[in-house]
Structure 1
Amino acid sequence: MIEIVTALVRDERGRVLVVRKRGTESFMQPGGKREPGESDLDALARELREELGCSIVAGSAKLLGVFVAPAANEPGQQVRAAVYAARLAGEVICRAEIEDHIWIDPREPRDTPLAPLTRDTILPLALALDDRGQAL
């Protein structure tokens, strides 16, 4: 089981931010693995800073739950993801291992190749939340 922490980030139009790591095909939520002794929010803040050059708007992160899904880039593995709704401060710029980022409409992701967690859990969550990460 691969333990990760991820962010569900939406823009003012309700689109969801997804990223693609270098050398992979599937888009997924920004985030990653915790370092030893790191809390979820510390790990998420570090990953967003390293991968996208952004920070989390103070007080905006809200735990939506912990979900299990097949790993997108490790065949036969699963991820257990702590998913936080969060708002970002700063311009999103691909850094570190992130090659691309896009904003997708959770109602119509079109033919965008998505990680199972994003496709089956994150997009339905995005449709069920208001602008503050509260259930509709």
Structure 2
Amino acid sequence: MDSGLQNPSIIRVAAVVICDSQRRILTVRKRGTHRFMLPGGKPEAGEDPHQAAAREAYEEIGLDLDAHTLEHLGQFSADAANEPGQLVQAEAYLLPEPQRPEDLQAAAEIDELRWMSAEQIVTGTDIAPLLSTQIIPAWMERTG
């Protein structure tokens, strides 16, 4: 991918794809931003990406899950949605069981939760590029 920069900074994150029983995907918008993305964030020192994804899901939306239940979807890179001139590299994971939307709430730096179909994410104008152009197409291919 050509970001237009010779040596862009790379922001490493871990994120989790969370679905409900209707196959809608949970997206979040962080405080002070305009684009929706998956719950997730940067790993802390000594933390594996799947552990970071589980911790961030708990901190951001109150979902307490076992990191070992997450299924690895892949590693993806794109221009960062909220940090101009930087790349984001994400380890994305799937939560295998559907969640009930009413059980999850915005917390920490999350201002808004939005449940969306894969099609809405791919065509949305307020979606992080990594999510709409890479993670969701990979999710659709994997889950049918």
> C-alpha separation between the residues in 2 aligned to 1:58 and 1:35?
15
Structure-to-structure mapping, 1:63-74, within 5 angstroms: 63-74=72-83
Bigger helix share = 2
Structure 2 unaligned spans of 5+:
1-9
The aligned residue for residue 75 of structure 1 is 84
What per-residue deviation string (whole Å, max 9, x for no partner) do you get for residues 27-70 of structure 1?
Answer: 00100000010111221111111111112267531111111111
The aligned residue for residue 94 of structure 2 is 85
Shift of 1:126: 2.7
Q: Which amino acid aligns with 2:15?
A: T
Q: Which amino acid aligns with 1:116?
A: P
- What is the root-mean-square deviation of aligned Cα atoms in Å? 1.9
The change in CA–CA distance for 1:94 and 1:65 in structure 2 (over 3 A counts) is: same
Structure whose alpha-carbon radius of gyration is higher: 2
**Is 1:22 the equivalent of 2:40?**
no
Shift of 1:88: 6.7
The aligned residue for residue 126 of structure 2 is 113
The change in CA–CA distance for 1:111 and 1:66 in structure 2 (over 3 A counts) is: closer
The change in CA–CA distance for 1:125 and 1:4 in structure 2 (over 3 A counts) is: same
Structure-to-structure mapping, 1:24-103, within 5 angstroms: 24-56=33-65, 59-86=68-95, 87=97, 91-103=103-115
Structure 1 unaligned spans of 5+:
131-135
Q: Is the CA contact (8 Å cut-off) linking 2:21 and 2:99 kept in structure 1?
A: no
Runs of 4+ off more than 6 Å: none
Q: Which amino acid aligns with 1:75?
A: P
TM-score by length of 2: 0.82
The change in CA–CA distance for 1:100 and 1:112 in structure 2 (over 3 A counts) is: farther
